[in-house]
Amino acid sequence: MRPSLLKSASDVLRRRNYSSAAGPERKVAILGAAGGIGQPLALLMKLNPLVSSLSLYDIAGTPGVAADVSHINSSALVKGFMGDDQLGEALEGSDVVIIPAGVPRKPGMTRDDLFNINAGIVKALCTAIAKHCPNALVNMISNPVNSTVPIAAEVFKKAGTYDEKKLFGVTTLDVVRARTFYAGKGGVSVNDVDVPVVGGHAGITILPLFSQATPASNSLSPEDIKALTKRTQDGGTEVVEAKAGKGSATLSMAYAGAVFADACLKGLNGVPDIVECSYVQSTVTELPFFASKVKLGKNGVEEVLGLGELSAFEKEGLEKLKGELKSSIEKGVKFAQSK
């Protein structure tokens, strides 16, 4: 029998449309699996009945994490891989590759301050993905997401494997935060609420569309919406400061990463009407990459959905974010093309 903790964890995830039924055999690889996000994400993916094979890769520490997670009595077969020599085997045959590899922020840093280290890590990992599992859906968590996704796209283009339907910047944590903060302030049920979050994943590029929240709260003033928008945009910094030098969001990110990977798996398995916000190649605005609602299907992105009607405040936020997002995209492209 399943331990009750596993059951209640599964129940919580199921309420958010996490999987409840098995489908075809699916392999998921986590790169950076021994890290702050990687470990709880490995746990959550081990609990996901859609995963038949779970590959845990890192530069160090994965044998222990894999041994630990593998003892859980759920169906996914877990294997640990460590170091460059084992990266190919870790990736081979993957349907979904989740990347939380790289350094996190410390207080006082922006996500862009991580570029110099993480850009190289992402580039190397994506080069290996192009070689060993070119058809996998890639879920990019490593920051700065606004630049690491364009880097990945350039690496795949160079390798001749780029498929814009298969590359995703994971912005689910912004949605998770917007839901929590909106429900808390607006007095609606946190289990039912949804809020689209568009743009990118850093500061003002994170644009929650509270005017489209469902169910809508009727107790929020324009000032409340302004404050909720700011809190969502600064959610990552709130955690970085609270952790006081010990990293950034890991547990809420692992939850968000597990929700997004589950949506990708459901889409691959042909479950209809799977929609999540994600930072993808886009024509929704003039920017080549943009986060918005995306319909997921058997080949990854089935449709990038438009923004819908925006409030005047959101329209203003959209115009304000474009400059920063554009330069983060260009920085990523330039880095990948110059190497």
Ligand X SMILES: O=C(O)C[C@H](O)C(=O)O
Ligand Y SMILES: NC(=O)c1ccc[n+]([C@@H]2O[C@H](COP(=O)([O-])OP(=O)(O)OC[C@H]3O[C@@H](n4cnc5c(N)ncnc54)[C@H](O)[C@@H]3O)[C@@H](O)[C@H]2O)c1
Stretch that binds ligand X, among 19-27, 131-139, 231-239, 282-290 (CB under 6 A): 231-239
Task: Give which of ligand Y, ligand X, none residue 239 binds (C-beta under 5 to 8 Å, depending on kind).
Answer: ligand X
Q: Does 118 bind ligand Y (CB under 6 A)?
A: yes
Q: Does 248 bind ligand X (CB under 6 A)?
A: yes
The distance of closest approach from Cβ of residue 242 to ligand Y in the complex, given in angstroms and rounded to an integer, is 13
Task: Give which of ligand X, ligand Y, none residue 142 binds (C-beta under 5 to 8 Å, depending on kind).
Answer: ligand Y
The distance of closest approach from Cβ of residue 252 to ligand X in the complex, given in angstroms and rounded to an integer, is 7
Catalytic site residue from 27, 201, 231, 326: 201
Interface of this chain with ligand X, residues 114 to 143, rule: CB under 6 A: 143
Taking residue 162's Cβ as centre, other Cβ atoms within 10 Å add up to: 18
The distance of closest approach from Cβ of residue 177 to ligand X in the complex, given in angstroms and rounded to an integer, is 8
Known active-site residue 132: no
The distance of closest approach from Cβ of residue 219 to ligand Y in the complex, given in angstroms and rounded to an integer, is 29
The distance of closest approach from Cβ of residue 1 to ligand Y in the complex, given in angstroms and rounded to an integer, is 33
Q: Does 240 bind ligand X (CB under 6 A)?
A: yes
N-to-C CA span, the chain: 53
Q: Does 253 bind ligand Y (CB under 6 A)?
A: yes
Q: Where are the alpha helices (DSSP H) in 187-308?
A: 222-233, 235-243, 251-268
Q: Does 142 bind ligand Y (CB under 6 A)?
A: yes
The secondary structure of 155-196, three-state, reads HHHHHCCCCHHHEEECCHHHHHHHHHHHHHHHCCCCCCCECC
In this complex, which beta carbon is closest to ligand Y, that of residue 100 or of residue 186?
100
Interface of this chain with ligand Y, residues 175 to 194, rule: CB under 6 A: none
- Give the rounded distance of the alpha carbon of 30 from its chain centre: 12
Annotated binding site for substrate: 105, 111, 143, 177
Q: Does 249 bind ligand Y (CB under 6 A)?
A: yes
Burial of 68 from C-beta contacts in 10 A (0-12 / 13-18 / 19+): middle
Q: Does 105 bind ligand X (CB under 6 A)?
A: yes
In angstroms, the CA 196 to CA 25 distance is 31
Task: Say which residue the tokens 């912004």 belong to.
Answer: 174
Interface of this chain with ligand Y, residues 79 to 108, rule: CB under 6 A: 100-105
* Tokens standing for residue 186: 């607006």
CB pairs under 8 A, 24+ apart, for 291-296? Answer: 291/169, 291/171, 291/174, 291/197, 291/198, 291/199, 291/200, 291/201, 292/196, 292/198, 293/196, 293/198, 294/168, 296/263, 296/264, 296/266, 296/267
CA-derived radius of gyration, the chain: 19
The distance of closest approach from Cβ of residue 116 to ligand Y in the complex, given in angstroms and rounded to an integer, is 12
Task: Give which of ligand X, ligand Y, none residue 31 binds (C-beta under 5 to 8 Å, depending on kind).
Answer: ligand Y
Task: Give which of ligand Y, ligand X, none residue 170 binds (C-beta under 5 to 8 Å, depending on kind).
Answer: ligand Y
- In order of 67, 205, 236, 262, the CA distances from 230 in angstroms are 41, 11, 11, 28
Nearest to 130 by CA among 101, 94, 100, 102: 94
Q: Does 173 bind ligand X (CB under 6 A)?
A: yes
In this complex, which beta carbon is closest to ligand Y, that of residue 36 or of residue 208?
36
Task: Give which of ligand X, ligand Y, none residue 51 binds (C-beta under 5 to 8 Å, depending on kind).
Answer: none
In this complex, which beta carbon is closest to ligand Y, that of residue 112 or of residue 269?
112
Stretch that binds ligand X, among 123-131, 151-159, 233-241, 255-263 (CB under 6 A): 233-241
* Tokens standing for residue 145: 């997401």
Residues of this chain that bind ligand X (CB under 6 A): 104-105, 111, 143, 173, 235-236, 239-240, 248-249
Catalytic residue list: 201
